[in-house]
Amino acid sequence: MPVDRTLGADIAGTIAELYHGLEVQLADQISRQLRAGIAEPPDAEKQLAALGILSRGARSLLNKIQADLTGTVEQAIVLAYHRGGEAAIAELAKRSGMSDDMLADLRRQLPQLGAIQRMVYALTSKLLGTHVRILRWDLDAYREVMAKTMLTGTLTGRETRLRTAQRAWEELLARGITGFVDKSNRRWELASYVEMASRTGTAQAAVQGNLDRLGAAGIDLVVVSDAPQECARCRPWEGKVLARTGAPGPREARVLHGTQDWQVTVHIAGSVTEAVAAGLMHPNCRHSLSAYLPGVTRLPTDTADPDGDKARQQLRVLERKVRRAKLQAAGALDPAAKKAFERDVRAAQAEIREHIKTAPTQLFRQPHREQIGAAR
C-alpha cells in the first residue's frame, strides 16, 4: 500500500488531545476573574492578585501537558515511522515480486534512529514553544479587558461595566489564542497550530519510514497520489514520478522494468526534496507517496480539481466560524451574551449543512472539526 500521510492522523490526535480543552479552561479562568473584578472594581493590589491567580492556573494546566508531552511525542513519531515502513513492505510484497526472504531482511533492518530523534526533538520543541505565548495571552487578555472596562464603562457612563467587558472579551475570544507562525509566515490560533504541528510531524515520520524502507530495497522512484480537492501547491505534482535521490529538475531516464529484465523510459518530474520545497507535503497535506515500479505502476491522470479545493476551503472557514462562536459562548460574561452566541453556533452549523448540500464536489461533515480545540 502507498504511504498515506493520514497514517499518522490518529497518532497525531493523541498529541493534540493533550491540548484539547485548554482554551476553554483558560477562558473559564479569565471570565471568573473578570466577573469578580466587574462586580467590585479592583484597585492595583487586587488586580495583581487576580493576575497571580491566572498565572498560577495557566502554569498548572501547562505543567500537566508538559509532563506527558515528550513521551507522547516519542511514541507517536516511532509508531508513525514504523507504519510508514510497513506500508512500503506491504506494497513491495504485492507488486514487486520480491521473495519472502528479501522482505524479511527488510523488516529486520534497523530504523534510522538519528532521523527519528531529530523529528521527536523538532516536534517537542515546536509544541513547548507555544507555552510562553499561552502564558502571555492569559495575563494580557485580563489586563486588556479590565483596562477597557474601567476606561469606557466607569468614566463615560455610556455602558455598564459588564457590557463593556463583554464586548472587549468577545473581541479577544473571536481571535482565540493567536500569534503562532509557521515557516511560511502563516498565522495560526493555538488549537489549529498544535494539531497542524502534530499531524505534520507524524506524517513526516510515516513518509520517512516509507522512503527509508524503499531505499533499503533499492527503489529510488516514487509516485505522488491523486488527492481529491487538492490545493494549488500540490496540483503540479499529482500523478508525477519523483526520485528519492539525485538532482532536481525534470528529466527522462532509462531504467530497469519493475519486474522484467529489460529497460523502459520514465519521465521523472523532479526529486522528492524539490517537490517538498515547492509545497508538496505541506502542513495538513493529504497526498501520499508510493513506490513507482517502471512498466508496472499506472499513473493517475486528469487529477486537477480546483473547484473542489475552493469548496473544501469554504467548509474550513465555516468550521472556524462554529468554533469561534462556541468559544465565545463558553467564555460569555452574562447569560444574554451566552444565548446570543449559542444562536450564532446554530446558524453557522446550518450554513455548513447548506454548503455541503450545494457544493459542486463531494464534501463530508466532520463534527469533530466544529469542536473547540480542533484543527483549522
Distance CA 272, CA 277 (A): 9
Residue 241, pLDDT score = 96
Residue 235, pLDDT score = 92
Distance CA 227, CA 213 (A): 23
- Across the strands, what pairs with 223? 241, 290
| Predicted model pTM | 0.75
pLDDT digits (tens, 9 = 90+) for 198-222: 888 888 888 888 888 888 888 899 9
Distance CA 18, CA 14 (A): 7
Q: Report the interhelical angle of 161-175 vs 22-39 (nearest 10°).
A: 160
Neighbours of 154 (CB within 10 A): 13
pLDDT digits (tens, 9 = 90+) for 274-306: 999 998 988 778 888 888 989 888 888 888 889
Distance CA 173, CA 348 (A): 17
Residue 158, pLDDT score = 42
Cβ atoms of 166 and 146 closer than 8 Å: no
Distance CA 356, CA 118 (A): 40
Residue 272, pLDDT score = 93
Q: In sequence order, what are the residues at sequence separation of 6 or more whose Cβ sits closer than 8 angstroms to the Cβ of residue 168? A: 144, 145, 148, 149
What average pLDDT score do residues 111-118 get? 80
User: Residue 190's pLDDT band (boundaries 50, 70, 90)?
Assistant: confident
What average pLDDT score do residues 74-102 get? 80
Q: In sequence order, what are the residues at sequence separation of 6 or more whose Cβ sits closer than 8 angstroms to the Cβ of residue 83? A: 7, 8, 11, 206, 209
In the numeric block, the cell 502542513 is attached to: 283
Domain residue limits, the chain: 3-219, 220-304, 306-370
Q: Which segment of 43-47, 60-64, 239-243 scores lowest on mean pLDDT?
A: 43-47
Residue 41, pLDDT score = 63
User: Residue 153's pLDDT band (boundaries 50, 70, 90)?
Assistant: low
User: Residue 40's pLDDT band (boundaries 50, 70, 90)?
Assistant: low
Q: Is 275 helix (H, G, I), strand (E, B) or coil?
A: helix
Q: What is the largest CA-CA distance in the chain?
A: 88
pLDDT at position 330 over 60: yes
